[in-house]
Structure 1
Amino acid sequence: MSITKNIILNHQEIQHKIRRIAYQIYESNVYEDEIILAGIQDNGYLFAKKLKQNLEKISDIKPRLCKVIIDKKNPLSEIKTSLKKEEYTNTSLVLIDDVLNSGSTLIYGVKHFLDVPLKQFKTAVLVNRNHKKYPVKADFKGISLSTSLNEHVEVILSGKQFEAYLE
C-alpha cells in the first residue's frame, strides 16, 4: 500500500496563517512592551521564529524567543527552556507548536509554565487536529482539521517552501 500525500496548506497559505496569528497575538497583547514566544522544540520553535518576524513587522512589541525542550516520548521527564524562569516571570507568554494532536505535548508544556506567575498565557498552533485526550485548546490556530486517528499531519517550516500535508 502506498502512502499518499495530501497537501492541506501550501507555502502561501502557511505564510497567511502565520501573519494572521501574529496579528491575533498582537491584538491580545496590545498594551505589552514584551512578549515571550515559547516554541516547542523543532517545528514549534520554527513556527515561533516566523511569528516573531511577523510581530516585529506589525507592532512595537519586543518578542523574545524561548525554546521549550520536551521529550515527546517521555513527557514526564524534565522540561528545559532556553530562558531562565526569571526571564519570563510576570510576562505575557504564548506556547507554540506546529500541530495539536492529542494535546499531550501542549499540556505538559502548559504544566511547566504554571510553576511561574505570568501576566497572560496563551497557546498557538498551525494545525489543530481535534483528537484531544487532554483538556487543552489552542487560543490561536491556523486551521482546524478533522482527521482519522491513523492519518498523520506533517508540517515543513524549514527551507524555502513551507507546506502541511496529510499522510
Structure 2
Amino acid sequence: MDNKILSHQQIKYKINRIAYQIYESNVEAEQIVIAGIEGGGLDFAKKVKAALEKITPAEILLCRVKMDKSDPLKSGITTSLKPEEYQGKSVVLIDDVLNSGSTLIYGVHHFIKTPLKQLKTAVLVNRNHKRYPVKADFKGLSLSTSLNEHVRVDLSSREYAVFLE
C-alpha cells in the first residue's frame, strides 16, 4: 500500500520555498546554474527553474547532470553545459531524494573541479541515511526512514506526489 507523504500542493509549496531560498543566496547574481541530476533530480530542477524565473531577474541556466547512480566513478559524470559555461557562476546541484549521499557527493566532486562563485545543493526529500559527508543546503522535507523503506517521487503526472513504500 502506498503511503503518500507529500501532496501536489505541498510539493508546489516546497518548490517555491526552495526557489526563494536559492534567490536569497544569489540576490546579486546575473546568472544562476540549476544542475539537475538526470532522472527525478532533473525533473525537480526544471520545476525549481520555472519558479526561480518568476521571482528573479537573473538568467537561470539549466544543466543536465548525467551519471550511472550505481557506479558514478566507473561511468563518469557528464553535463549538458561545458565547464567554461558555469565557471565563476553560482551553481545549485539538485536531486529529488538524498539517500546515502553518494549521488550528490559525486556530483559535487564533478563541479568543484571548476572555479565557481558558489556551489549549493537542493533536494526535495532528505532521508537522513548519509554515508558521505554531504548535506542539502535547501531541502523540502527531512524524513527519518528505515533502510528497508523506499521514497518514490512522482513529478511526471499532473498531480505531483511523494510516497513512502
* Count of residues paired in the alignment: 164
Residue number in structure 2 paired with 1:91: 89
TM-score by length of 2: 0.98
1:51 and 2:83 matched: no
* Cα distance in 1, alignment partners of residues 58 and 52 from structure 2: 7
User: Which residue of structure 2 lines up, in the alignment, with residue 148 of structure 1?
Assistant: 146
Q: TM-score, normalised by structure 1?
A: 0.97
What are structure 1's unaligned runs of at least 5 residues?
none
Equivalent of 2:8 in 8, 11, 32 = 11
Task: Provide the secondary structure at the position in 2 that maps to 1:133.
Answer: coil
- SS of 1:20's partner is helix
Task: Describe the superposition over 1:124-146 as per-residue Cα deviations: whole angstroms up to 9, x where unpaired.
Answer: 00000000000000000000000
In structure 2, the residue matched to 1:40 is: 37
Percentage of identical aligned residues: 66
Structure 2, unmatched stretches of 5+, are none
Q: Which moved more, 1:74-83 or 1:120-129?
A: 74-83
Q: How far did residue 73 of structure 1 move?
A: 1.3
CA RMSD of aligned residues (A): 0.6
Q: How far did 1:78 drift?
A: 1.2
Q: What is aligned with 1:79?
A: 77
Alpha-carbon displacement from aligned partner over 1:25-78 (angstroms, at most 9, x marks no partner): 000000001000000001111111101110111111111000000101111021
Q: Which 4+ runs in 1 deviate beyond 6 A?
A: none
User: Within 2, Cα distance between the matches of 1:44 and 1:104?
Assistant: 14
